[in-house]
Structure 1
């Protein structure tokens, strides 16, 4: 399913920017060359959608740093090399995330095994991940989100193992797993924070060896991420400008309808607006999610259900609360909720195999 009709969907705004970054040109250079009031032929336009021989991955990094510092560079550098090797057609650019998304299947199984030691739950979670519209959609989009899903699952599996086994080397592996996650998406900070809440709660807020292991691993990961934090700070004007849309206020009823659309995407492939009556399809899915979470909390150890709740809750609250307290529409962006989607997927998989 992930490789079906890769070139049939319109190559939209964000994907065009992926190709622009892979080309090594900046948006400013493209605008200066293309916006001159005259007719532009296709080949000239595609110059800024293909890797330029005179540009390198360093130019990709420079373009991101100066124009889009809210996007860490890992995926875009990968896309640069991918386009050099396999071409920059729509099919080629979308094949990279589609291939990466396949890694999410064993990663999901691994996380479920660490949580439940049950192949049945892992297989069901893999099946849901394989057919869920939200995961398929972003597996076919030339952006970093399929890579982010894989890294969330891997870092989470390593964390659960580290908490259970209490072996120091596992915390080193967790620090290593955290670094690419941070360099893939800034919201990985919320995932790491959720992991921290989980570890503290499991240890009942005592400064145990497990908590110290998490703190040291997190510190190492964050230190490795500091160079990009510094770049974002230096280019904070661009950071503010490119994320200004998040602060546009929306009425609470509109936000709630957006949340309904987002929740429905876990199982419903139809594309509909937030003002459509189809938004009420979210109600049975919400009921299923609540029933599954309640069942999970009643039938699994505290170390299991608490991990799922923190994986879902910390990211969701980190996006929803700012919109409620200070206005904005951060929480209307469906792809920011992948940690929460993954937690819900696991909870529903457990419910479906044990109810």
Structure 2
């Protein structure tokens, strides 16, 4: 029965992770990026959206219905020409939407949640191969209750799938290193699986390219370390392989490393075109200043923080923000103080050093790539916390393994050796305490069960980490944290200021991302404005070359009800003082209401239009 305990623990962790990821999956408002996911995955393109004309709000129901005739090839063509992403995730989502019942929002998010659950299981496999069954269970537990991982899993976007593929790729990387060390050769199924996973990742998200390059540099660094410092890395072999066999092995490794790029060649021209598209300009500061040179550092640190704790500090009253911020800082300080010696133990124990260095080097290289893009290319990809997903598996694996480490006290054993042991032996989590056996080989030392260090770790650090993570994840599910800068639900509530008055909403757009943003507002407005209310019209009007074209187009609107009308102008990039005091909406004059100007990430202004002029 003992050998099945890690799997029983994993089942419990998977159940917990599944509940967190699927809870209230449809409750959060759909935001800009999810609109893009839905549009392409349903088999539509921007051409299906009526532009430069007022149309009924109910017409959106036709846009967000499944086009069963769309093929993966057609979706890939639309993504290539109208988006800045690879096609695989959208093709998979289209197939999922055609097979799963429910609203398209729940369907799309459920696929991401499912990949998120798969990432928990994959993290167990990664840490089991890299360290031990105990570390595998703890790595899975870390990901299961991580607020960052729960947040990504509830987004209808391509974050959890590439994260899952990166975990599988790291698993293959560590297995390749173990094969080279213990066998002197790479088993074909390991190398081929690694190629397949990396290739799928490249066709899922462009950031996987950063992970792939980081893995290649990790292989190169380990190869150099094998010859320069083999003893310190634990890479020395009992006997050297025959020269011919060694040459074949390195040729195989080179082939496995470069084959994903060869398989990716058909999409490389599209990648080049996407990189230069204006949709990525939002990464650049709107008004550059010296602050932009240090902001990415703080944004990265904040990204690390919310991987383990996330309390409500966004758009909340001060009586919630201040205690939440204090608790987050206190917990992060205690956690950092407690985990540091265990991280040190991870890299000083011969049993865990090699795998720990592989994961650390991989994570460090990806971070250097991020900084290169930020400071070299001028695009701040740290500005959105979700983009830290690509190296999150490395951090999660290291945390899971480190939590299972205990530094050995001087009075307890011989002067060596931090070791991998079971710090949960006296914890309140008996399933985790019995989770696994010993690490690779016999440990150098074990802490006594009554060790003060062991009791401290078991009584506070690990249970506290899991409880804080669970509470944080509940905040994520309840939409108290990771809130979007654009608040579709809040905007819709304000647009519906007077439900009994006919309403026209006009969105000035310059690109299709702004159209998608307007669609997110429209979907939320459609939820709270029943069909039996007065007429509701919606329009996307181009603001090229300036908003003057929008004002002129408003004058040609027809088909309005004879009664008074509320007109909302959603105007990206327009300052409050730049709204005209009066506008013509068809055959009537509209006056600006100075008390009804808002900016929830984007400015919008109310105009009150009189009755139809005779």
Is the TM value for this pair above 0.5? yes
Q: More strand per residue: 1 or 2? A: 2
Deviates more, 1:336-345 or 1:319-328: 319-328
Deviates more, 1:320-329 or 1:56-65: 320-329
Which protein has the larger Cα radius of gyration, Structure 1 or Structure 2?
2
Report SS of the residue matched to 2:282. Answer: helix
Q: Does 1:202 align with 2:243?
A: no
User: What is the aligned counterpart of 1:126 among 140, 163, 185?
Assistant: 140
- 5 Å-filtered alignment, 1:13-28, equals 13-27=32-46
Q: Deviation of residue 140 (structure 1)? A: 0.9
Distance 1:176 1:145 in 2: 18
Q: Deviation of residue 138 (structure 1)? A: 0.9
On the 8 A contact 2:88/2:204 being kept in 1, the answer is yes
Q: Does 1:215 align with 2:278?
A: no
Distance 2:200 2:161 in 1: 10
Segments of 4+ moved more than 6 angstroms = 205-208
Q: Does 1:80 align with 2:94?
A: yes
After superposition, give the CA deviation of every residue in 1:5-64 in whole Å (9 maximum; x if it has no partner): 00111111111110001122222x144x1x33414232x213222222443333211111
Structure 2 alignment gaps of length 5 or more: 1-19, 180-184, 228-245, 316-320, 407-614
Relative distance call for 1:271 and 1:209 in structure 2 (3 A) is farther
User: What is the aligned counterpart of 2:278 among 226, 235, 241?
Assistant: 241
Structure 1 alignment gaps of length 5 or more: none
User: What is the aligned counterpart of 1:172 among 180, 192, 195?
Assistant: 192
What is the match of residue 366 of structure 2? 315
User: What is the aligned counterpart of 1:41 among 51, 57, 60?
Assistant: 57
After superposition, give the CA deviation of every residue in 1:155-182 in whole Å (9 maximum; x if it has no partner): 1111211221132402222112211111
On the 8 A contact 1:315/1:337 being kept in 2, the answer is no
Distance 2:262 2:85 in 1: 18
Relative distance call for 1:64 and 1:326 in structure 2 (3 A) is closer
Q: TM-score, normalised by structure 2?
A: 0.52
Q: Deviation of residue 288 (structure 1)? A: 6.1
CA RMSD of aligned residues (A): 2.6
- 5 Å-filtered alignment, 1:12-161, equals 12-27=31-46, 29-31=47-49, 33=50, 35-42=51-58, 44-68=59-83, 70-87=84-101, 88-116=103-131, 118-161=132-175
Q: Paired residues, what number?
A: 346
Q: Does 1:181 align with 2:201?
A: yes
Distance 1:237 1:339 in 2: 19
Distance 1:345 1:218 in 2: 24
Q: TM-score, normalised by structure 1?
A: 0.88
Distance 1:178 1:268 in 2: 30
On the 8 A contact 2:119/2:167 being kept in 1, the answer is yes
Relative distance call for 1:52 and 1:227 in structure 2 (3 A) is same
Q: Deviation of residue 121 (structure 1)? A: 0.5
Relative distance call for 1:94 and 1:293 in structure 2 (3 A) is same
Relative distance call for 1:54 and 1:350 in structure 2 (3 A) is closer
Relative distance call for 1:324 and 1:272 in structure 2 (3 A) is farther
Relative distance call for 1:15 and 1:291 in structure 2 (3 A) is farther
Relative distance call for 1:85 and 1:201 in structure 2 (3 A) is same
